[in-house]
Amino acid sequence: MDILFVGVLVALATHGSCMYSSSDDVVELTPSNFNNLVLNSDEVWLVEFYAPWCGHCQSLAGDWKKAATALKGVVKVGAVNADDHQSLGGQYGVKGFPTIKVFGLDKKSPTDYQGPRQASGIVDAALNAASSMAKQRLSGKRGSGGSSGGGGGSGKKADPADVIELTDSNFQELVINSEDIWLVEFFAPWCGHCKNLAPQWAQAATDLKGKVKLGAVDSTVHTVISSRYGIRGYPTIKYFPGGKKDGEAQEYDGGRTASDIVSWANQKAAENVPPPDVYEITSQKVLSDNCDDRQLCIVSILPHILDCQSQCRNKYIKALKAVGEHFKAKMWGWVWAEAGAQPALEEGLGIGGFGYPAMAAINSRKMKYALLRGSFAEQGIKDFLRDLSYGRGSTNPITGDKLPSIEARDPWDGKDGELPQEEDIDLSDVELDDLDEPSKDEL
C-alpha cells in the first residue's frame, strides 16, 4: 500500500510539473523560439496557453496530444506554459487557462479557438484554418509571417552604432569587468550568415539599449579573445550574465531575427534581476519609492510584535521574500508595517477587518487595490498574485488621488516585544495602624 501511495504521489508530481514531453507531437514554445517557429512560419499553428496547475488544462492534454499527432505534417500544434512564460501569455491577452489561439495567414492577428475540447473538434478547426489560408493565398493575399524574418517590432529604426565594437584590448574592461548583461557576436567579414545577421543584430541592439548590451568581435582580427572562447564557426553568439569577473559565458540558443534576439535577451535579463527586498514602512518616502512607479506594490500588515514575536515575524518576512523571488521579473514593490502602526493606510485599504497578517496589492497608477482573502502563506500569496497578474480577482478604488498618509516611525529593531513595566507604588510611608477600623454599622 505504501509503495502504491508513493507511486501515486510521484505520478501526480510529474504530471503537475510538465504537461507535455519531447515524445509528444506537441511543440513546446517559449519566448526564445516563439517568433522563429510561429510568427515567422508559413504554416498554420494551433497554440495552447496553459498552466500546469490548471485542472481544465490537464483534462485537455490527452486530446491536445491526439490532435497534434493527427495533424502532423498538416498543421503545427504547440503549447506555451504561460505560468513560466507570463510575458508571452500577456502579449496575447491570456487571462484564463487553457486559452487556444489559431495563427493563420496573418500571424500578427491570431484568432481565438472557441470549439469543442475534443481531438476531433480541434482537428476540424485546424483543417478549416488551413483551407482558409490556402484560399486567401489563392486570391493573392500575403501574410505577416514567412521565413524571411523581420525586425524586432519596436518601431525604432535600427542604429548600427548601438552595436559596440569589441577587441582584444577592450573586451576585458567592457564585458568581463562589467556589471552589465552582454550578448556578443563573433563574426568574420566574409561570412554570408554574418552579413544576413548584421541588420537583425543592429535592430536588436537598438531595441535593447539601456537593458542589454550587444557587441561584435571580428574574429579574424581579434584572435586572442576568439580563441579564449573557442570560436570555431561564424557567427557564434555568447551570453555574458554580468558581474562574472571570471569571464564565464553561455551559449546563445535563440533565433536569428531581431525579435528572437530581443525576446531571448529580455528573458535572461529577467532571470538575472536580483530578488526584491521587503521594506518596513517607516515614512511616506518608503511607500512612494516602492509603489509610485511600480505596476503593483504588495503591502503586508503583520501582527503586532507582542502578538507575534521576532521568530514569528521573521517567518512572515521570509515567506514574503520567497514570493518576491518567484515574481522578481515583475519588478513589484514589497513593503510591510506592524498592525496599528499605520492606521490611515489600513483604513484606506480596508485591510484591518480580516485579522492579521493581511495583504493588499496596490496599483498606484490606476489607484486601485485588491485584498488577499486566502491564506497568508507562501502558496496562498503566490496564487493571489498570479491571479492578479492575469487580470483575475476583484479590485477596489483607493479613495482620493494619492496613497494614504504614512506616519514616520522608527524601524523595528529586530528584537522581541516587551510589555511596558508597571509603575511601582511606594507604600513605605503608609501607616496601616492609623487607618480607622470600620464600625459595626459599616460592616
Query: CA end-to-end span of the chain, whole Å?
Result: 77
Beta strand 213-218 pairing with 111-112: unpaired
Q: Of 57, 291, 297, 308, which residue is the catalytic one?
A: 57
Beta strand 333-338 pairing with 358-363: unpaired
Residue 291 appears among annotated catalytic residues: no
- Report H helices in 23-179: 34, 55-70, 86-91, 119-138, 171
Q: Of 18, 194, 291, 308, which residue is the catalytic one?
A: 194
Residue 57 appears among annotated catalytic residues: yes
Question: Could you give the CA distance from residue 200 to residue 195 in angstroms, rounded to a whole number?
Answer: 10
Residue 191 appears among annotated catalytic residues: yes
* Burial class of residue 114 in the structure, from the number of CB atoms within 10 Å of its CB (0-12 exposed, 13-18 middle, 19+ buried): exposed
Contacts of 349 by beta carbon, 8 Å cutoff, 6+ apart: 299, 360, 362, 369, 371, 398, 404
Give the count of beta carbons closer than 10 Å to the beta carbon of residue 68: 25
Give the count of beta carbons closer than 10 Å to the beta carbon of residue 312: 14
**CB-based contact 273:220 (threshold 8 Å):** no
Q: Which residues are catalytic?
A: 54, 57, 191, 194
